[in-house]
Structure 1
Amino acid sequence: MSYSRFAIFYVPPEGSLERFGARWLGWDIVQGCKVDQPDLPELHDVTMAPRKYGFHGTLKPPFNLAEGLTFDDVKAAAAKLAAGLAPASCDGLCLTTLGRFLALTPRGDIDGLRRIAAACVRELDMFRAPPGEAELARRRNARLSPRQEALLTEWGYPYVMDEFRFHMTLTGRLPKNDIPAWIEVLQTHMPSLTEPFIIDQIALCGEREDGRFELLHRFTLTG
C-alpha cells in the first residue's frame, strides 16, 4: 500500500486505553480497520474529524515526504532517533476541553513529553517536503500569533516546540451547549486512566489512499 503522508504519533500500547480509543472513534489505527462504535446517538458524526487519524497523540505532525527520500529512509531515521531518546512520564491523563473539542491531556510536569516531541520534529525534519501555498494559507486562517507564524515558517506547522500541547483527540468541534453532555458520556465509557502516564515508544504512521492513518512501526525509546 502507498502512503501520501507520514507522521510520528504516540499510539497507546495494547490495553484498555488503546481498545477504548479505537472503539470510540470507530477506527483502529493499529490494525488499520473499522471498529463498531458504541450505540450512542450522534457519536459517528461527533467523531468524524478525528476518526481518520485514529486514537493517538501527535509528536511530529503529518508531512509529505521530501523528494528523493523513501519510507525505508524515514523508518531507519525513526529507529535511530528512538534509540537515543529516553522515555518520559507525567502524573497522568485527564479529560479536557480544548477550545470546542474534547481530548485527553497530560497532568503534571510535561517537560519530558515536550522533549520527545521536539526531538521528533527537529531530527526528522529533513524528510518533510515544504508545505504548499494552499496549506500555508489554511494554517494562517487560524489567526496565528507571531511565534506560531515563525514556527510554521521553520517547521511547517505552528503548534510545535514551545507551542506544543500533547493531546489525544476524542471529538470534533462541538456546539458549546453540548460539551457538558459529551463529557458525561465519555466519563462513563472511558477506562481507568493509568498513573503515571508514560511514553516509552513512538509510532511511525502513514496516511493510506483512503485518507485514514495506520500504524506502520513502533520504536521503543531506549536512550
Structure 2
Amino acid sequence: MPRYAIYFAPHAGSLLARFGASVLGYDASTGADIEPPDHPLFHDPASLGWTAGPRRYGFHATLKAPFHLVDGRTAAELEQALQEFVRTQTPIDITLNLALVGHFLALVLAEPSSAMQDLAAACVRHFDLFREPLSPEDRERRHPDHLTVQQVANLDEWGYPFVLDDFQFHMTLTGPLEPRDRAKLEPVLRDLLRDVPLSTTVDSLVLLRQESANDRFVMQRRFDFAGA
C-alpha cells in the first residue's frame, strides 16, 4: 500500500532545492537521480552511505510524517483537503543554518519561529483523519523505549513522536554520522552553502507518495498558500 507525506520543500529550480537534491543525489520533484556536488568527497563511495536514508524521502522538512490512508479515505480527498487547507495559510519567511541534529546534519531554523511551529501543529492535527493508525510493527520501528514519555504519547496519538512541542523544523542532509565522517563532510557542506541563499519563504506544501516500502517518495503536487 502506498504512503503519503506532507512536507515543505523549496521550489524546484531554486538554488536551495538544487543544493539539497545534489547532496542527496535525488530530486523528489521529478523522481530522478541527480549528479552529486563537484567535490572529491562526493565521489567517495562512502558518501552514498552517508545520504542513503534521507535520499528515500528527498530534500524536505516534515510537517505530516508518512502515513497510510485509513480505510474510507482516498488520495483525491487528501488532495482536496490540502487545497482547502493552504487557502487559510500565509507565507512564512525563514532563515536556515547547517547544524547537527542528533547524529545527522541538517538545515535548521536560525531563529525560533512560532508561525512555523503553528503551521506544523496544524498539519499534524488537520490531516490526522486521513492517517491509518500505526500497526504494532510500525510502532516498534520507532523504538519507543528510546523516546521520552511525551514522545511516546505523541507516537500513540499522532503516529509520529516529534510533533507539537517536540517538533523541530529540519531539512535532513545525512543519515547518522560517525564523528570522523562528520568532520570530513561538515566543512564541505558549509563551503557549498556559501553560494546558496539560506533565507527562503514557506509559501506552499507538497504532497509526496511512496508506492511501497522499497520505493522512494515522489512529489505528487505542490499546493500554494493563499498569500503566495
TM exceeds 0.5?
yes
1:16 corresponds to 2:33: no
Inter-partner Cα distance in structure 1 for 2:157 and 2:144 = 18
1:79 corresponds to 2:70: no
Aligned-residue RMSD, C-alpha: 1.6
Q: CA deviation at 1:142?
A: 5.3
Letter in 2 for 1:95: L
**What is the TM-score with the length of structure 1 in the denominator?**
0.93
Report if aligned partners of 1:25, 1:55 keep a CA contact under 8 Å in 2: yes
1:222 corresponds to 2:226: yes
Report if aligned partners of 2:144, 2:152 keep a CA contact under 8 Å in 1: no
Match of 1:48 in 2: 52
Listed as ranges, the matches of 1:58-77 within 5 Å are 58-77=62-81
Inter-partner Cα distance in structure 2 for 1:113 and 1:59 = 10
Aligned residues: 220
- CA 1:195–1:181 in structure 2 vs 1: closer, same or farther (change >3 Å)? closer
Of residues 188-197 and 157-166 in structure 1, the stretch that sits farther from structure 2 once superposed is: 188-197
Q: What are the Cα deviations for residues 85-124 of structure 1, in whole angstroms up to 9, with x where unaligned? A: 122223x100001111100001113111111111111111
- CA 1:21–1:191 in structure 2 vs 1: closer, same or farther (change >3 Å)? farther
Q: CA deviation at 1:190?
A: 2.6
Q: What are the Cα deviations for residues 28-62 of structure 1, in whole angstroms up to 9, with x where unaligned? A: 11111111223431221111111010111111100
Inter-partner Cα distance in structure 1 for 2:33 and 2:63 = 24
**What is the TM-score with the length of structure 2 in the denominator?**
0.91
Report if aligned partners of 1:89, 1:112 keep a CA contact under 8 Å in 2: no
Q: Which runs of 5+ in 2 are unaligned?
A: none
- CA 1:78–1:139 in structure 2 vs 1: closer, same or farther (change >3 Å)? same
Q: Which runs of 5+ in 1 are unaligned?
A: none
Listed as ranges, the matches of 1:1-223 within 5 Å are 4-13=2-11, 14-38=13-37, 39-41=42-44, 42-90=46-94, 92-141=95-144, 143-190=146-193, 192-194=195-197, 196-209=199-212, 210-222=214-226
Percentage identity across paired residues of the two chains: 36
Determine helix, strand or coil for the equivalent of 1:131. Answer: coil
Inter-partner Cα distance in structure 1 for 2:49 and 2:152 = 32
Question: Which 4+ runs in 1 deviate beyond 6 A?
Answer: none
Q: CA deviation at 1:206?
A: 0.7
